[in-house]
């Protein structure tokens, strides 16, 4: 193993402080060299005054002024408003405590480890703060600079610099607020045309016959079949490109600000699984323009991947006459590029009420590795890649295979979410 192989883990401040032996054991037993912590410190007064929250806990109306708008005018799902009110601004905790955060960082440094933070950014599950809103943008930039300069951290690997996950369909069709409209204009897109073409695609989808679609899916459809059958117009593709451009523009700006203030601090954001990255606004092809490294977040096999299959299959069944659940799932697998690996044939077979054991019911290693193979196709040469995988609940056989193959694919490290299997499997 190369000495610059990164072995990281996600940990919280309380775990670091209350179980100091845990990281030293991981350092000695599995070569842990990096800890990625959530940010639990305080945002100082000069940063807070830039918060789009304006120093108060926002009302529903105030939140709705800064969050993503669906193209039919609805603000995104209000179920996350409670979580949004536990922040002092997008991505930062309301009741942070600098003393304990600094103590945890110092303790890890003393143990010889690199320390990163994953901070927080635009999205809270279904909710997203509008990435074109100038107040949200300047707040996120200032927050990143604060995190990069005040705690001696080695890197920012900010989470949730993306659009809501594909399993929340409302999030796929925003944001179309006035700020996004003018951003679209500035980036060379026509918001009205994009919205018209998204609607036209849906109308054409509804004209397909489910039984014939299932026949074609069994034979194997290709790129032009999709374009042709959906009558895709250029505004449909523009929509996904526009959202990618907006993420690239924002992160390029935040990274430049971080580098100006702290040239040695690395800047990155966790990276949506490659097969579905366009749905979250992530463009692997331009990752080097906005980040110093990629961290493909392939650990969320339930929330990101399986839930998307199920939600999209349900959507297709609602839209397309004569489409069975089994056939709808096969269409989704084929369309998203996960076909042929033996994923469940019915929704019930996912056993979704028990997400913790999902890895036993799906071909987890094949699923994860498919996205890691695609990541290497898409990422620019020279961008280090540190996939985030589960060290708990997947079993040693799956973990071993993923680790072996991701090394031979040329990834540059691993960030664990949990380590129970790897410690017990040793
Ligand atoms: Zn917007």
CA of 390 to the centre of ligand 1 (A): 34
Q: What is the pLDDT of residue 166?
A: 86
CA of 178 to the centre of ligand 1 (A): 6
Q: Residue 242 belongs to a domain with what CATH number? A: 3.20.20.80
Cβ atoms < 10 Å from Cβ of 4: 9
129 alpha carbon – ligand 1 mean position (Å): 8
Question: How high is the pLDDT of residue 135?
Answer: 96
| pLDDT single digits (tens) 389-414 | 998 899 999 999 999 999 999 999 99
The model's pLDDT over 187-245, given as tens digits with 9 standing for 90+, comes to 999 999 999 999 999 999 999 999 999 999 999 999 999 999 999 999 999 999 999 99
Q: How much distance in Å is there from the Cα of 400 to the middle of ligand 1?
A: 43
Q: How far apart are CA 303 and CA 307, in angstroms?
A: 5
Of 38, 31, 198, 52, nearest in space to 119 by CA: 38
Strand 388-390, strand 413-417: pairing: parallel
* Span from the CA of 253 to the centroid of ligand 1 (angstroms): 17
Per-residue pLDDT band for 421 (boundaries 50, 70, 90) equals: confident
Residue 69 Cα, ligand 1 centroid: separation in angstroms? 6
Could you write out the DSSP letters of every residue in 177-201?
SHHHHHHHHHTT--HHHHHHHHHHH
Q: Do the domain assignments include residue 91?
A: yes
Please give the Cα distance from 105 to 339 (Å, whole number). Answer: 43
Using the mean position of ligand 1's atoms as its centre, give its distance from the Cα of residue 295 in Å: 26
Q: How far is the CA of 213 from the centre of ligand 1 (A)?
A: 35
For ligand 1, the distance from its centroid to the CA atom of residue 247, given in whole angstroms, is 12
Q: Which of 132, 155, 138 has its CA nearest to residue 35? A: 155
271 in any annotated domain: yes
With pLDDT > 90 as the criterion, what percentage of the chain qualifies? 89
Give the mean model confidence (pLDDT) for residues 28-54. Answer: 96
Domain with 71, as residue range(s), is 6-424
Q: What is the pLDDT of residues 56-72, one digit of tens each?
A: 999 999 999 999 988 88
Whether 87 is in a domain gets the answer: yes
Has residue 312 got a pLDDT over 60?
yes
Number of domains in the chain: 1
Residue 194 belongs to some domain of the structure:
yes
Q: How far is the CA of 275 from the centre of ligand 1 (A)?
A: 25
Asked whether 111 and 24 are in contact (CB, 8 A), the reply is yes
Q: Distance (Å, rounded) from C-alpha 374 to C-alpha 282? A: 13
Q: Which residue has the tokens 């690239």?
A: 248
For the chain, how big is the Rg over CA atoms in Å?
A: 22
Tell me if 203 sits within 8 A of 319, measured CB to CB. no
pLDDT at 425 over 90: no
- Predicted pLDDT at 1: 43
Structure tokens that stand for 143 in this block:
């927050």
The predicted structure's pLDDT at residue 299: 93
Alpha carbon of 422 to ligand 1 centroid (Å): 43
DSSP string, 402-421: HHHHHHHHT--EEEEE--HH
How far is the CA of 235 from the CAs of 74, 168, 188, 241, in angstroms? Answer: 21, 22, 12, 10
Quote the ligand 1 centre to 238 CA distance (angstroms).
16
CA–centroid distance, residue 181 to ligand 1 (Å) = 7
Residue 177 CA, ligand 1 centroid: distance in Å: 4
Nearest of 273, 284, 274 to residue 244 by alpha carbon: 284
pLDDT of residue 353 exceeding 50: yes
Q: Which two tokens stand for residue 271?
A: 């990276």
Which band of pLDDT confidence, cut at 50, 70 and 90, is reported for residue 79?
confident
C-alpha 134 – ligand 1 centre gap (Å): 10
Residue found by looking up tokens 């599950």 in the block: 125
Q: What is the distance in A from the centroid of ligand 1 to the CA of 197? A: 19
Indicate the average pLDDT of the chain: 95
For residue 387, the CA-to-ligand 1 centroid distance in Å is 30
Residue 184 lies in a domain: yes
CA dihedral defined by 190, 191, 194, 196, rounded to 10 degrees?
Answer: -110
**Residue 344 included in any domain:** yes
Domain presence at residue 1: no
Decide if 148 contacts 156 (C-beta within 8 A). yes
CA of 179 to the centre of ligand 1 (A): 5
Average pLDDT over residues 141-158: 98
- Taking a 5 Å cut-off on Cβ, the residues next to ion ligand 1 are 130, 132, 175, 177, 179-180
CA of 176 to the centre of ligand 1 (A): 5
Cα dist. 83→125, 241, 306, 370 in Å?
Answer: 10, 29, 24, 33
What was the pLDDT predicted at 3?
61
* Over residues 42-56, mean pLDDT: 94
Ligand 1 centre to CA of 27 (Å) is 43
Whether 189 maps to a domain, the answer reads: yes
Instruction: Please state the pTM of the whole predicted model.
Output: 0.96
In angstroms, what is the span from residue 207 Cα to ligand 1's centroid? 31
Distance 70 CA to ligand 1 centre (A): 9
Looking at residue 74, its pLDDT comes to 78
pLDDT at 2: 46
Q: Distance from the CA of 281 to the center of ligand 1, in angstroms?
A: 13
Distance 137 CA to ligand 1 centre (A): 11
């Amino acid at each position: 193993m190369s000495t610059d192989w990164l072995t990281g883990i996600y940990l919280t401040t309380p775990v670091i402080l209350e179980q100091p032996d845990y990281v030293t054991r991981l350092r000695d037993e599995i070569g842990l060299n990096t800890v990625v912590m959530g940010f639990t410190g305080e945002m100082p007064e000069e940063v807070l005054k830039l918060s789009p929250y304006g120093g108060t806990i926002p009302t529903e109306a105030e939140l709705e002024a800064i969050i993503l708008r669906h193209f039919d005018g609805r603000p995104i799902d209000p179920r996350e408003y409670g979580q949004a009110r536990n922040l002092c601004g997008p991505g930062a905790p309301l009741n942070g405590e600098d003393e304990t955060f600094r103590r945890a960082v110092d303790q890890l440094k003393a143990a010889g480890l690199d320390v990163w933070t994953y901070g927080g950014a635009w999205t809270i599950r279904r909710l997203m703060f509008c990435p074109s809103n100038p107040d949200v943008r300047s707040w996120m930039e200032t927050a990143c600079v604060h995190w990069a300069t005040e705690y001696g951290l080695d890197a920012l690997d900010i989470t949730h610099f993306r659009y809501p996950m594909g399993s929340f369909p409302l999030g796929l069709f925003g944001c179309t607020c006035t700020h996004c409209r003018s951003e679209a204009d500035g980036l060379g897109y026509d918001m009205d045309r994009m919205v018209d073409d998204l609607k036209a695609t849906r109308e054409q989808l509804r004209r397909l016959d489910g039984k014939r679609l299932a026949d074609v899916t069994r034979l194997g459809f290709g790129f032009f079949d999709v374009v042709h059958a959906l009558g895709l117009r250029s505004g449909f593709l523009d929509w996904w490109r526009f959202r990618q451009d907006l993420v690239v523009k924002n992160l390029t700006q935040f990274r430049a600000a971080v580098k100006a203030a702290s040239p040695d601090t690395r800047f990155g954001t966790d990276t949506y699984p490659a097969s579905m990255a366009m749905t979250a606004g992530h463009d692997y092809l331009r990752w080097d323009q906005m980040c110093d490294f990629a961290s493909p977040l392939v650990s969320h096999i339930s929330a990101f991947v399986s839930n998307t299959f199920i939600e999209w299959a349900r959507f297709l069944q609602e839209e397309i006459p004569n489409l069975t659940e089994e056939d709808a799932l096969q269409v989704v697998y084929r369309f998203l590029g996960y076909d042929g690996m033996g994923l469940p044939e019915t929704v019930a077979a996912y056993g979704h009420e028990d997400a913790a054991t999902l890895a036993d019911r799906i071909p987890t290693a094949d699923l994860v590795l498919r996205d890691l193979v695609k990541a290497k196709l898409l990422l620019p040469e020279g961008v280090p890649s540190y996939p985030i995988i589960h060290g708990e609940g997947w079993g040693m056989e799956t973990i071993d295979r993923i680790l072996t193959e991701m090394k031979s694919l040329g990834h540059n490290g691993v960030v664990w979410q949990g380590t129970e299997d790897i410690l017990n499997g040793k």
